[in-house]
Amino acid sequence: MAKQKKLSKGQSRRISANHQKRLHKAKQQKADSKDITWQSDNLGPSEYAVVISRFGQHADIETEQGEILRCNIRRTVKSLVCGDEVFFRRAKVSEGDLAGVIETTEERRSQLTRPDFYDGVKVVAANIDQILMVSAVLPEFTPHIIDRYLVACEDMGIEPILLLNKVDLLDEQSRQHIDEILNIYRKLGYQVLSVSNKTGEGIEALKHQLIGKNNIFVGQSGVGKSTLVNTVLPNAEILTKEVSENSGLGQHTTTVSRLHHLPSGGNLIDSPGIREFGLWHLDVERVTWCFKEFREFIGGCRFRDCKHLNDPGCMLIEAVSSGNISELRFDSYHRILESMADGRAGARAPRV
């Protein structure tokens, strides 16, 4: 076996120096992240604000007067994400670029979550009122992916809107075909909008739908989300802002969510963090419940452990036969269960 080559003095020195540098950086970071001991007499009264972006130990908040302030966060605040409503106190003498400290959060109306391999379920944004699920005939119109998103929306209790983009690419026949599929969702009470960035069709209706709400666009890569964001938010130059976090032991880049105001009122949260809508944190019963038209049949099957597959006396299968549940949705349901069973439910399907 070849003898390992000895490092030259220069090499050793460089390695050692790099190591020291990393240690120093790690220490520095630790010190930076420590609570600044905001003295009470340096802090003004409690004020309301909304978190527009969160990164590391800091957050940018917007006050009711429209000021954007960078604050740090009391340790007692356990979770803080874009969209959170908070109370903070302004410093009379600021600490570097930090204008104050966030002390408490309001209870959330909703949480946008994604399953995280390490943390279980991770909250990505708070107080989202509506999720616009974008689909398009190009790259491909896939109702099964729509159903995956709908399961996630139902689970989170956030209103979904089905947004069919690129309708300019549809001829009469394909338009009719897709419309028939979309009718399944309309009948279930989901709102459907058809738009085109190219011709402008439906864009006014879309803008109207966003007013007064916290919105987010989701959908597979290539369906036109970025284009739509630019259409409704013409001056957003800062959309996918990347914050480089140096852990001291190597760089890793995280992309932060950010809340933007829409010109016609309402907000858009741009969240590259929700690229994957994994469903593997849900159990089978929850998935069944998330198909909302299944709910009235749950518990009615002959066997308590009915798999709703080919079990005798299955109420869901009966509902499919009688047309009360669409075959397409039933098929999606089983696809989701299959993907959960073989560990693919967390696999990257839909992307932002």
Ligand X SMILES: Nc1nc2c(ncn2[C@@H]2O[C@H](COP(=O)(O)OP(=O)(O)O)[C@@H](O)[C@H]2O)c(=O)[nH]1
Contacted by 196, from Zn ion, ligand X, Mg ion, none: CB < 5 to 8 Å by type: ligand X
Q: Is the peptide bond before 160 cis (omega within 30 degrees of 0)?
A: no
298-317 positions binding Zn ion, by CB under 5 A: 301, 306, 308, 314, 316
Instruction: Give the nearer residue to Mg ion in terms of CB position, either 63 or 226.
Output: 226
Cα distances (Å, whole numbers) of residue 107 to 56, 81, 85, 128: 21, 12, 8, 13
Instruction: Give the nearer residue to ligand X in terms of CB position, either 138 or 309.
Output: 138
Cα distances (Å, whole numbers) of residue 337 to 114, 152, 261, 340, 344: 18, 14, 38, 5, 10
* Least Cβ distance, residue 181 to ligand X (angstroms): 19
Contacted by 166, from Zn ion, ligand X, Mg ion, none: CB < 5 to 8 Å by type: ligand X
Q: Taking contact as CB under 6 A, which single stretch among the options 77-85, 119-127, 191-199, 317-325 is the one that binds ligand X? A: 191-199
Q: Does 123 carry a binding-site annotation? A: no
Interface residue with ligand X among 11, 16, 183, 221 (CB under 6 A) is 221
Residue 223 as a binder of ligand X (CB under 6 A): the answer is yes
308-327 positions binding ligand X, by CB under 6 A: none
Instruction: Give the nearer residue to ligand X in terms of CB position, either 225 or 329.
Output: 225
Contacted by 61, from Zn ion, ligand X, Mg ion, none: CB < 5 to 8 Å by type: none
Q: How far, in Å, CA of 290 to CA of 273, rounded?
A: 23
What residues does 105 pair with on adjacent strands?
Answer: 86
Residue 196 as a binder of ligand X (CB under 6 A): the answer is yes
Residue 225 as a binder of ligand X (CB under 6 A): the answer is yes
Long-range contacts of 267-270 (CB under 8 A, 24+ apart): 267/213, 267/214, 267/215, 268/210, 268/215, 268/216, 268/217, 268/229, 268/232, 268/233, 269/82, 269/83, 269/112, 269/125, 269/128, 269/214, 269/215, 269/216, 270/216, 270/229, 270/236, 270/239, 270/240
Q: Does 219 carry a binding-site annotation? A: yes
| Residues 57 and 72: beta-carbon distance below 8 Å | yes
DSSP 8-state symbol, 82: B
Lay out the site mask for ligand X across 166-185 (x = CB under 6 A, - = otherwise): x-xx----------------
Question: Three-class SS of residue 349?
Answer: coil
What residues does 161 pair with on adjacent strands?
Answer: 132, 191
Q: Does 223 carry a binding-site annotation? A: yes
Interface residue with Mg ion among 63, 226, 231, 255 (CB under 5 A) is 226
Q: Please report the DSSP string for 105-123 in residue order.
A: EPPPS-EEEEEETTTEEEE
**Max Cα separation, the chain?**
81
Interface residue with ligand X among 12, 227, 254, 264 (CB under 6 A) is 227
* Least Cβ distance, residue 314 to Zn ion (angstroms): 3
User: How many CB atoms within 10 Å of residue 265?
Assistant: 11
Provide the residue count of the chain: 352
Q: Does 208 carry a binding-site annotation? A: no
Q: What amino acid occupies position 4?
A: Q
* Least Cβ distance, residue 91 to ligand X (angstroms): 39
Q: Taking contact as CB under 6 A, which single stretch among the options 44-52, 78-86, 165-173, 185-193 is the one that binds ligand X? A: 165-173
Q: What stretches of 142-231 adopt beta strand conformation (E)?
A: 159-165, 191-194, 214-218
Lay out the site mask for Mg ion across 168-207 (x = CB under 5 A, - = otherwise): ----------------------------------------
Residue 242 as a binder of ligand X (CB under 6 A): the answer is no
Interface residue with ligand X among 222, 292, 311, 331 (CB under 6 A) is 222
Residues marked as binding for Zn(2+)? 301, 306, 308, 314
Question: Which parts of this chain interact with ligand X (CB under 6 A)?
Answer: 165-166, 168-169, 196-198, 219, 221-227
